[in-house]
Chains A and B, each alone.
Chain A
Amino acid sequence: MHRSDFPLLAASPGLHYLDSAATTQKPAVVLDAMREFYETSNANPHRGAYELSGRATDRYQAARERVARFFGLGDPDCLIFTRGTTEALNLVAQAWGRRELEPRDEVVITAMDHHANFVPWQQIAIATGARLRICELTPDGRLDMDHMRELIGPRTRVVAFPHVSNALGTVNPVADIVALARDAGALTVCDGAQAAPHMPVHFDTLGVDLYAFSGHKICGPMGIGGLLGRRTVLESLPPWQHGGDMIQVVQDEFSSWNVLPHKFEAGTPNVADAVGLAAAVEYVDGIGLDTILAHERHLLALATDRLAAMDGLTIYGPPAAERSGVLSFTMADVHPHDLATILDADGVCIRAGHHCAQPLMRRLHVPATARASFYLYNDESDVDALMRGLQRAAALFAVAGSASD
């Protein structure tokens, strides 16, 4: 489905790309939009009094409006463009945490967080003396909501959690977490990197205060993503980086800040990538997120069933019907990196490693897993190739035979 829209895939018929949770391939419409921007509208926006600069400004604003619409965000000024999820989460942890957190305050994160959410909050807790609380998981890889209820209390200032786990594909109960946090008067920050590409996200009804995403996982270019926020929350935050565009007045002794979104976008903005991202969400919306989700679930269920039937294979996370696009597994006696190398020989690209989730890997008692992830351009032939590669690896390593230890 749609493989021919992606130049890299169209040029590589033998390639089975199963690493879209790391980054998606890019459709021609995205590449064309970026090139067209540079060829017709390139200038530094917000600055020049000449027509071309105005055109660049218009393109940037149009991109913001298009992406905001993708996320059901009624007020486009409440979309801050960042390099991606990592920068968006660091922005929040730094801007909000540095000012708001005090000793005895508590920060709640989860054991399934990507390092991009885990480490910024861990570090700001260390810097401010706040206490980091980590919500543990159930044996099948869901958030332990009983533990979450225990953790969230009067001292909780912020609850930061993933919408979807990058390593397991677990889809978390956002509304339940938001309800708990709101009762405690805590800020809610959601890492949407793995959700935004795969399911409709309607920010204005989701309930979280702040939501981070990466464009390159939604068919957009690398280097752009964003932070969505409630206006009152964003307006209350101090700026994070200082420079051009984000100021109102600069006196010798002090400065004052520009309005949203500029307050959080210091320096020359990444206009071409924003234009590319707008083209990407237009493309994804054209197919429909419901269609994409159903397609992924079909492939995920097929792959899960076939892998589960193999000897020596362990699959992590909840049942396929409750996961999003991700199949995390290990094969007895075969290290995930060896699996990835053997699969690569068949043109099958999977991720092997700790998936930037070392706290999760420790809890699963594995150093690493292999991860196959699916997207709109995958089909059953990719699942077939994955199975062939795994069977070859099993034969090569004579799984269930004598092993090291």
Chain B
Amino acid sequence: MAGTRAAGVSARSEAIYQELILDHYRSPRNRSVLNDADVTITHRNPLCGDELIVYLAMDGTTVREARFTGQGCAISQAAASMLTGALRGGSVDDARVILASYSSMMHGDPASRDDPTLGELRALAGVARLPARVKCALLPADAFSRALDQFEERARS
């Protein structure tokens, strides 16, 4: 029985570390400081000590540039890398929709796994089955959500 259990877990965790995710981890996109950022958010995961800094530069309500720096595991770094690509060039509302769908996917919603707006982020769907790692995948999404909140608060005031 334990053998079956171990094999089952194995299949799941193998699925997580796909080449696309490892590629984003080894060669992260948009991983650098954005000097003219309109919003900068530092987000920590107190459970693992990982720290992520996200930057947004806006053009009106369009995300002109999204970048990140910081350290973390393959899942949080790949998610951050993929999210920057997904958010760039879209509106704040587009970004909200993507972040909401991504969050749903991480909470196990099967519909989100087929959401074309998530693009490469769908490669992270398997993380939803590893509860201990969901927080890693959500760390950059939470950081970008907070960045959008701050941008909108400032725009209102």
Q: Are A335 and B1 in contact (CB under 8 A)?
A: no
- The answer to the question of A404 belonging to the interface, with a C-beta cut-off of 8 Å to chain B, is yes
A318-351 contacts to B, CB under 8 A, are 334-338, 340-342, 344-347
Do A347 and B5 form a contact, CB below 8 Å, given A335-B74, A367-B51, A402-B27? yes
Contacts of A48 on B, CB cut-off 8 Å?
Answer: none
Interface mask (A293-313 → B, CB under 8 Å = 1, otherwise 0): 000000000000000000000
Q: Are B10 and A352 in contact (CB under 8 A)?
A: no
With A and B bound together, what is the CA distance between A337 and B132 in angstroms?
9
With A and B bound together, what is the CA distance between A403 and B26 in angstroms?
5
Q: Are A367 and B2 in contact (CB under 8 A)?
A: no
- The answer to the question of B47 belonging to the interface, with a C-beta cut-off of 8 Å to chain A, is yes
Smallest distance from the beta carbon of A401 to chain B beta carbons, Å?
Answer: 7
Interface mask (B1-19 → A, CB under 8 Å = 1, otherwise 0): 1110110011011101100
Do A14 and B73 form a contact, CB below 8 Å, given A367-B49, A402-B26, A403-B26? no
- The answer to the question of B75 belonging to the interface, with a C-beta cut-off of 8 Å to chain A, is yes
Closest B residue to A342 using CB positions: B13
Q: Are A13 and B10 in contact (CB under 8 A)?
A: no
Q: Are A338 and B2 in contact (CB under 8 A)?
A: no
Q: Are B10 and A345 in contact (CB under 8 A)?
A: yes
Smallest distance from the beta carbon of A12 to chain B beta carbons, Å?
Answer: 4
Q: Are B133 and A341 in contact (CB under 8 A)?
A: yes
Smallest distance from the beta carbon of B8 to chain A beta carbons, Å?
Answer: 9
Q: Are B26 and A401 in contact (CB under 8 A)?
A: yes
One of A62-70, A146-154, A353-361 at the interface:
A353-361
B5, B26, B28 pick with most chain A CB within 10 angstroms: B26
Q: Are B48 and A352 in contact (CB under 8 A)?
A: yes
With A and B bound together, what is the CA distance between A336 and B48 in angstroms?
9
Q: Are A342 and B17 in contact (CB under 8 A)?
A: yes
Q: Are B71 and A367 in contact (CB under 8 A)?
A: yes
With A and B bound together, what is the CA distance between A389 and B26 in angstroms?
20
Q: Are B31 and A404 in contact (CB under 8 A)?
A: yes
Per the CB 8 Å criterion, the residue count for chain B at the interface is: 33
- The answer to the question of B136 belonging to the interface, with a C-beta cut-off of 8 Å to chain A, is yes
Contacts of A344 on B, CB cut-off 8 Å?
Answer: 9, 13
- The answer to the question of B112 belonging to the interface, with a C-beta cut-off of 8 Å to chain A, is no
Contacts of A335 on B, CB cut-off 8 Å?
Answer: 50, 72-74
Q: Are B49 and A347 in contact (CB under 8 A)?
A: no
- The answer to the question of B77 belonging to the interface, with a C-beta cut-off of 8 Å to chain A, is yes
Contacts of B47 on A, CB cut-off 8 Å?
Answer: 353
Partner of A347, one of B2, B28, B73: B2
Contacts of A342 on B, CB cut-off 8 Å?
Answer: 13, 17
- Give the top 9 A-B pairs by smallest Cβ distance, nearest first: A335-B73, A14-B2, A347-B6, A345-B10, A12-B2, A367-B49, A345-B13, A14-B6, A337-B73
Residue ranges of B at the interface with A (Cβ–Cβ < 8 Å)? 1-3, 5-6, 9-10, 12-14, 16-17, 22, 25-28, 31, 47-51, 71-75, 77, 130, 132-133, 136
7 A-B contact pairs sorted by A residue (CB < 8 Å): A14-B6, A335-B73, A345-B10, A345-B13, A347-B2, A361-B49, A367-B50
Residue ranges of A at the interface with B (Cβ–Cβ < 8 Å)? 11-15, 334-338, 340-342, 344-347, 352-354, 358, 361, 367-368, 396-398, 401-404
